[in-house]
Amino acid sequence: MDASKGSKKRKAITRDVEEEAGTFSGDELSKKNLNGALSDDANDLSSDEGDSEVELVDDFSSDEEEVEGEEGIDSDEIPSDGGDLVKKKSGTAVDEPARDNDDDESSEEEQINFRIEKDAYGNDRYLYDEINPDDNSELSEADEDANTIGNIPLSFYDEYPHIGYDINGKKIMRPAKGEALDALLDSIEIPKGFTGLTDPSTGKPLELSQDELELLRKVQMNEIPDEGYNPYEPTIEWFSSKQEVMPLSAAPEPKRRFVPSKHEAKRVMKIVKAIREGRILPYKAPEERDEEDPNVIKYDLWADEAEDADPHMHIPAPKLPPPGYEESYHPPPEYLPDNKERKTWEQTDPEDRESEFLPNDFGSLRRVPGYENFVKEKFERCLDLYLAPRVRRSKLNIDPESLLPKLPSPEELKPFPTACATIFRGHKGRVRTLAIDPSGLWLATGGDDGTVRVWELLTGRQLWSTTLNEEDPVNVVKWRPGKDAVVLAAAAGDDVFLAVPPIVDPEVEQASLEILDAGWGYAASRPAPTGADANKKNAPPQWIRPSSSLADSGVYAVIPLRYVVKSLSWHRRGDYFVTVCPGSSTPASVAIAIHTLSKHLTQFPFHRRLKGGGPPQTAHFHPSKPVLFVANQRSVRAYDLSRQLLVKIIQPGARWISSFDIHPTSSTAAGGDNLIVGSYDRRLLWHDLELSPRPYKTLRYHRKAIRSVKFHPGGRYPLFADASDDGSLQIFHGSVTGDMLSNASIVPLKVLKGHKITGELGVLEVDWHPREAWCVSAGADGTCRLWM
Amino acid sequence: MGKIKKKGNSGQAKNYITRTQAVRKLQITLPDFRRLCIFKGIYPREPRNKKKASKTSTPNTTFYYTKDIQYLLHEPLLAKFRDQKSLAKKIARSLGRGEVSDASRLEKNHAPKLTLDHVIKERYPTFIDALRDLDDALSLLFLFANLPSSSHVPPKTIALCQRVTHEFQHYLIATNSLRKSFLSIKGIYYQATIQGQDIMWLVPYRFVQRVNGDVDYRIMATFVEFYTTLLGFVNYRLYSSLGLRYPPKFDTRSDENGAELAAFTLEGRSVGNVPKAIEGNNTKSNALSNQVSSEVQSKVDKVIQDAGLDQTKDEKTVETTEESNDAIDKFEPAAPEADTLDQPDLSAADSGSLFAPFTVYISREAPKAPLEFILRAFGCTRVGWDAVSGDGAFTHDETDTRITHQIVDRPPLPEGALPAAPAAKDGDVPQVKPGTRVPGRTYVQPQWVWDSINEGRLLRPDLYAPGTTLPPHLSPWVKPSRVGYDPKASLAAQEEEGEAELAEEDSGSDEEMEDEKDDKDDKVDEKKNGDAKAAEASDDDDSEEEDGGMDVDLANSDEDEEEDDSESADEDFGGFEDDAASESEDDEEAARSRHQKELEAEAAGLPFSSINGGADEKAKKKSSQAKKIAAKKRKEEEELERQKMMMSRKKRKLLEKMMYSNKKQSDEAAKLRSKRRKLEKGEKGEKGEK
């Protein structure tokens, strides 16, 4: 209320001030009046804030100046400090009585502040008391900056920049103050009820009356806006201890008000009972029980252990390897690192070191220091245990040698042909075929020039040569097996020629002739074929005597087969040989012919074409059994000749079989049949007939077609060779063991190169020496070579 | 048509889960996950194809099996972790409010107690499984038992570790199941066999462990928590299998006095069972040892005191007769030096009786704890030590006449160097002047104990006498392998053929190159020939006649060990047999031809020239040999290539891998051999100078 009044008064006062000031400055008022008015004003404004106080103070100070100059200036020095105001005021309040006292004193002083004494001359002498400035006396403070203008109104200096002079006569400049601005602001007439707002309905400035402002203020201050409302009315006690004559409710007092509760009694009784029975114990502070070590194990965890399958594939952590010799505190001296090793160890990064410590010899146990990385190593082990992924790895602790195939030692493999020993030159054009005679002395060759030549094997000297056919090449030459006679079978064009080269000693030559001639009688004794038979295409041909020129040169029989013979193979005993005419125009029934030397008889055992794989290519007799192997383009068939049965079909998987050979020891003892097949599609296939009809090993070491394959005859050396169009021969070691359990082991041994490739053809045929590990090859370049 | 498979819904993508995913799935923090993994023994897995398993391209992702994590979901520990977390929150809150007593009450009464019993049962369904996995546990616990306490390692943990490890050691002592031990640079390795399981652990030397900054003790503490529980259960089972009460009686006072092992007293479980006397202080004196010592005493009276060697020898003879009672049958084979590893391991009875008849005194400079443990585990019941080393000794009196062996580890000092011993002033224990020997007992260095137990028999103590240079201490776990180097065998026995000659040639031809010889890869095979060796031998002894018999003697005296090792010894080789013994079969031919020549020479009555060893002849031979060797090597390589050609590519790779590792091994062995050769040569040279 007080505050509000103050603020209400404020404007009025601020406006009044000037008038008052004017009055002050104008009139001389009694000090008392002034003081009273001042104090009144001060009281009024005690709760006031803001610039108006400054004004007031200013006025007050100027007023004071009038009263006491020094003091007034003092107060002038602190003009607009609102904070000091209270002090100021209290100061003034305190000063008031003091001033009064002063006034009193000054009046007193005028009377008694001197003594009258007689001086030396007897004159009166006014002796003034020493001025004893009181502590609170302002007079004592002789301020240098004090204004010395004396008791004149300051307004005299209004037009000057200074307000007076100090004790030294210097101008005291007017202190800077907001007075001018304030005066201007105050001079502006503010209409009553000015709010600064615009009334939206009228567009005129909104003016509020004093009551309305008061109401707003109350709302703002959370006061009750109603003027007459008393929030602290005395309460009316409706229900009191006093018996009313007319009570509000006349209902009788309920029973529960005065009867003790049964339910509560029940509950209490329950508790009492529990206490009596000792079920409820009085509270006891939990005493410090002795720390029972929870880590002491009290029972057997594995009392009922059961071996059960690990549910989640646990891999136990691998154990650390045991320490080696180098970790010893006193290792053998050779484990100690030398300077170089030590240096490299120190220079490598700790992460890259092979071992985390250097071996060191401490000599005796007392010199061993602590291992500085112990904690770190254990920590790393811990990390490994829970951070490292574990993988089960089968560790290879096998001897590497055991992985290598069990191979015969190189010494065991020897001998095998390694170098070209002899070159046989003489043929014009390709040498198509060659054969070494069973004694191993001579080599027979046949070539495109239609000649058959016989050479001395070791020297390369040509012993015998005859031209069998002017136009057609000699396709096959083969010696009759057996050393009792020397018979050479050669196929050129459509005919097969049997010759006895005049190179041997007469006895053997005689024997050979006898063998060849023995058959003429049989042929004569046989009924001559009827004309119809002879006309028939597949009638067996008659052996005929050769032309005289041929007979002179040593050819003794000719078998006209009417089709080009490409393959010829003798039976082991030398009485039979089989020829094959692979030409596509050849009727199937006459493609394969078996000739009996002793009877001069030719038979065609097959009436129909072999199934699957085109015309027959080549045929061989089994070395020991009466079985004939016939190869067509894709398969090899074995026929039992005595029972006239197909025994076996071998499918090498080659597209076009060029040649095949049967292992010489096949079916002897316990061993099974082994077969090698060469094909034009660059494959060499080893068949173990006991194993499967498919090849046991497929070797593809040639870049061109394989023309010929051959086992070493006689089984003395487990060698075989193949000849290929890439101009090379390859020699293999293929040993066949006697027992059924172990498979044949094949070892590549040597690549023999020397033949030139002429017209896409390289080596056309290969043959082995019957006793030595030598082989001969017929090249398309017109030479034959002996490799040994 | 089958449903189109969506990526990431089956196979590896489903089977593996990254760590982040796992943590999120389990709703725990990463440290908690880490602890859980440690407790449960769950470790990351390496997917066969990382790309298929991971959905991100981050290269370093750890994968877990989804099933493992699934299995963790039901773990009771997980709930405990959550309780702990909420409790930590409560405590933090009350501490934030300044309610300290509340916080302490919460901490004291509401802290969830982790029990790992079920985890151990799960991880080790059988007791054998637990034993199998004890290696790491023991190593870590022994480390923690020796750690100084710090903020990371509370003293309580250390005490617990000490207790369980000592209990375990007591079991080993009681059953004599310690087998081997090894003093390494890092610490002492022990190996025990319990129920057929070999358990090996490493105990650090007693020094304050240096702790590097990058060691996270929280992880180790988690392991220790698990391992203490595990070892506690194992101990319980082991003790109860012996009929002993678990936990054994623990004397705190004695432990404070440094008794360590002796602070425990094992008790039988039933009343009638006599407590096993592990406590060292049984005053029952050993009549035998008394007798021995008195006997020796009488001898020593006659002998001058400084004849220390004689004394030990006497002692030794006594020992050997003692030991022969039960052990000699076992060690009957004529050459005990050879193939000790081939012999069967010690049985408990053997190991229990190794040190049984002795009274051992451990000097105060020798490490008491490991020696006491080992001696007791190998049957010695009377172990005494200096009072400084702690309580619980059989005797603290160094002058005790019952002591048969004293383990010392101090260098012998000259008499004058010793400070005058203070006169025994009213001391209850008479002092022995340091450096003096009490007559009637064997003084050995600590390594004797270790070597003896590893060897399974008592070794000659004079080799281990104080002040002598000890024989090298060898690890008992290294098995001799074909390619590896064996320091026990003689150099000649394991050299590759011709290696020595080659090395000699190297060093002989250019001496300045000798320093670099070590680095040189001298594994080039050289054909070794017997005559070079023989010539060498005859060079050594110039005075020797060129007589076959002499050669035999020489060889025998030099290389009797070698003789055992060589398996290709041909009987009818006569004088050269021993020299050629170490040759491989490849050289037999050469040797045979030599022999033939020799016989011819003998028949002709001429001295066999090569024994005389003309120097130029030798040189010639050597050069021809080098050629031969080179040719042979080339041939071998060719042969190998040829063989490789026949193999499938997979097998070839495998072969190459194996050959690589084998080559590494053999290179290492060759290096060691060359070092040894150099050393031996140096020794020989020194001897020659003298």
B496, two tokens: 């590759």
Is the same domain home to B48 and B74? Answer: yes
Highest mean pLDDT range out of A453-457, B427-431, B538-542?
A453-457
pLDDT for residue B183: 92
Q: How many other CB atoms are found less than 10 A from the CB of residue B225?
A: 18
pLDDT for residue B290: 42
Chain A residue with Cα closest to B144: A375
A305-349 pLDDT per residue, tens: 776 655 556 778 888 888 988 899 988 888 888 888 889 888 888
Is the Cβ pair A386, B38 closer than 8 Å?
yes
pLDDT for residue B416: 55
Mean pLDDT (chain B, rounded): 73
Dist CA A209 CA A194 (whole Å): 9
Banded pLDDT at B348 (limits 50, 70, 90): low
Is the Cβ pair B446, A365 closer than 8 Å?
yes
Q: What is the ipTM of this complex?
A: 0.71
> Which residues of chain A are within 8 Å of residue B229 when distances are taken between CB atoms?
295, 297
Average pLDDT on B100-113 reads 88
Check if CATH label 3.90.1150.10 holds for domain A411-526+538-787. Answer: no
Do B679 and A333 touch, CB atoms closer than 8 A? Answer: yes
Is the Cβ pair B659, A400 closer than 8 Å?
yes
- Check pLDDT > 70 for residue A510: yes
Residue A760 to chain B, least CA–CA distance (Å): 29
Residue A75 to chain B, least CA–CA distance (Å): 53
Comparing A286-290, A597-601, B126-130, which segment has the lowest mean pLDDT?
Answer: A286-290
More confident residue, B119 or B551: B119
Phi, psi (degrees; rounded to nearest 5) at A373: -95, 15
Dist CA A439 CA A460 (whole Å): 16
Bond before B487 cis per omega within 30 degrees: no
Do B227 and B140 touch, CB atoms closer than 8 A? Answer: yes
Is the same domain home to B86 and B154? Answer: no
Chain B residue with Cα closest to A371: B186
Q: Is residue B385 part of a domain?
A: yes
Is the Cβ pair B136, A381 closer than 8 Å?
yes
Highest mean pLDDT range out of A531-535, A559-563, B86-90?
B86-90
Is the same domain home to B103 and B192? Answer: no
Is the Cβ pair B445, A322 closer than 8 Å?
no
Is the Cβ pair B71, A379 closer than 8 Å?
no
Is the Cβ pair B139, A378 closer than 8 Å?
yes
A459-502 pLDDT per residue, tens: 888 888 888 888 888 889 999 888 888 888 898 888 888 888 88
Q: Which of B125, B185, B220 sits opposite A382 (nearest CB)?
A: B220
> Which residues of chain B are within 8 Å of residue A323 when distances are taken between CB atoms?
182, 184, 186, 189, 475, 477
Do B364 and B407 touch, CB atoms closer than 8 A? Answer: no
Mean pLDDT (chain A, rounded): 76
Dist CA B304 CA A369 (whole Å): 38
pLDDT for residue B96: 94
A103-118 pLDDT per residue, tens: 444 444 455 677 787 8
Query: CA dist A88 to A39, A67, A72, A95, A457, Å?
Result: 12, 16, 12, 10, 151
Is the same domain home to B455 and B500? Answer: no
Is the same domain home to B121 and B267? Answer: yes
Angle separating helix axes A179-187 and A51-67, nearest 10 degrees: 110
Do the strands A645-650 and A636-640 form a parallel or antiparallel pair, or are they unpaired?
Answer: antiparallel
Q: Is residue B103 part of a domain?
A: yes
Banded pLDDT at B588 (limits 50, 70, 90): low
Is the same domain home to B94 and B235? Answer: no
Average pLDDT on A610-621 reads 83
- Check pLDDT > 70 for residue A411: no
Average pLDDT on A121-128 reads 80
Banded pLDDT at A16 (limits 50, 70, 90): very low
pLDDT for residue A589: 81
Q: Which of B233, B410, B647 sits opposite A405 (nearest CB)?
A: B647
pLDDT for residue A297: 78
Comparing A309-313, A628-632, B46-50, B555-559, which segment has the lowest mean pLDDT?
Answer: B555-559
Q: Mind spelling out the 3-state secondary structure of A137-182?
A: CHHHCCCCCCCCCCCCCHHHHCCCCEEEECCCCCEEECCCCCHHHH
Is the Cβ pair A335, B477 closer than 8 Å?
no
Q: Is residue B568 part of a domain?
A: no
Is the Cβ pair A400, B658 closer than 8 Å?
yes
Q: Is residue B319 part of a domain?
A: no
- Check pLDDT > 50 for residue B36: yes
Is the Cβ pair A381, B473 closer than 8 Å?
no
B405-459 pLDDT per residue, tens: 999 888 876 655 555 544 444 444 455 666 677 888 889 999 999 999 988 888 8
pLDDT for residue B263: 86
Is the same domain home to B137 and B74? Answer: no
pLDDT for residue A226: 85
Is the same domain home to B100 and B237? Answer: no
Comparing A167-176, A640-649, B409-418, which segment has the lowest mean pLDDT?
Answer: B409-418
Dist CA A771 CA A26 (whole Å): 165
% of chain B residues with pLDDT over 90: 21
Residue B204 to chain A, least CA–CA distance (Å): 7
pLDDT for residue A512: 84
Which residue's entry shows tokens 């939990």? A286
Dist CA A654 CA A677 (whole Å): 9
Dist CA B238 CA B230 (whole Å): 12
Average pLDDT on A412-433 reads 84
Q: Is residue B338 part of a domain?
A: no
pLDDT for residue B321: 37
Residue A364 to chain B, least CA–CA distance (Å): 7
- Check pLDDT > 60 for residue A626: yes
pLDDT for residue A171: 87
Q: How many other CB atoms are found less than 10 A from the CB of residue A84?
A: 15
Dist CA B616 CA B584 (whole Å): 26
Is the Cβ pair B186, A327 closer than 8 Å?
yes
Q: Which residue of A288, A293, A295 is the best one to mutate when testing the B interface, meaning the one whose CB has the most B CBs within 10 A? A: A295
Angle separating helix axes B368-377 and B155-175, nearest 10 degrees: 30
- Check pLDDT > 80 for residue A27: no
> Which residues of chain B are within 8 Å of residue A307 when distances are taken between CB atoms?
125-126
B192, two tokens: 């025990």
Which structural domain range is residue B409 located in?
A: 348-413+431-468
- Check pLDDT > 60 for residue A55: no
% of chain A residues with pLDDT over 90: 5
Banded pLDDT at B8 (limits 50, 70, 90): confident
Query: CA dist B652 to A81, A409, B641, B646, Å?
Result: 104, 19, 10, 9
More confident residue, B256 or B684: B256
pLDDT for residue B671: 84
- Check pLDDT > 50 for residue A167: yes
Is the same domain home to B98 and B173? Answer: no
Dist CA B346 CA B178 (whole Å): 10
Chain A residue with Cα closest to B63: A389
B681, two tokens: 């040569």
Is the same domain home to B376 and B260? Answer: no
Average pLDDT on A512-536 reads 67
Domain extent listing, chain A: 160-197, 411-526+538-787
- Check pLDDT > 90 for residue A441: no
pLDDT for residue A9: 41
A-to-B residue pairs, Cβ atoms closer than 8 angstroms: 253
- Check pLDDT > 70 for residue B325: no
- Check pLDDT > 70 for residue B515: no
Which residue's entry shows tokens 């070999």? B198
Average pLDDT on B573-588 reads 43
Residue A776 to chain B, least CA–CA distance (Å): 25
Do B237 and A301 touch, CB atoms closer than 8 A? Answer: yes
pLDDT for residue B54: 78
Average pLDDT on B116-128 reads 89
Q: How many domains does chain B have?
A: 4
A213-248 pLDDT per residue, tens: 889 999 999 888 888 888 888 888 877 788 778 878
Q: Which of A305, A330, A396 sits opposite B125 (nearest CB)?
A: A305
State which of B108, B133, B167 marks the end of a domain. B108
Rounded-to-10 torsion of CA A677, A766, A723, A779: -150
A387-405 pLDDT per residue, tens: 888 877 766 555 655 556 5
% of chain B residues with pLDDT over 70: 65
Do B497 and B525 touch, CB atoms closer than 8 A? Answer: yes
Chain B residue with Cα closest to A319: B135
Is the same domain home to B218 and B251? Answer: yes
Banded pLDDT at B661 (limits 50, 70, 90): confident
More confident residue, A85 or A620: A620
B664, two tokens: 């590494």
Do A452 and A466 touch, CB atoms closer than 8 A? Answer: yes
> Which residues of chain B are within 8 Å of residue A299 when distances are taken between CB atoms?
236
Residue B475 to chain A, least CA–CA distance (Å): 5
Chain B residue with Cα closest to A372: B210
How many residues does the structure list for chain A? 788
Dist CA B669 CA A326 (whole Å): 12
pLDDT for residue B374: 92
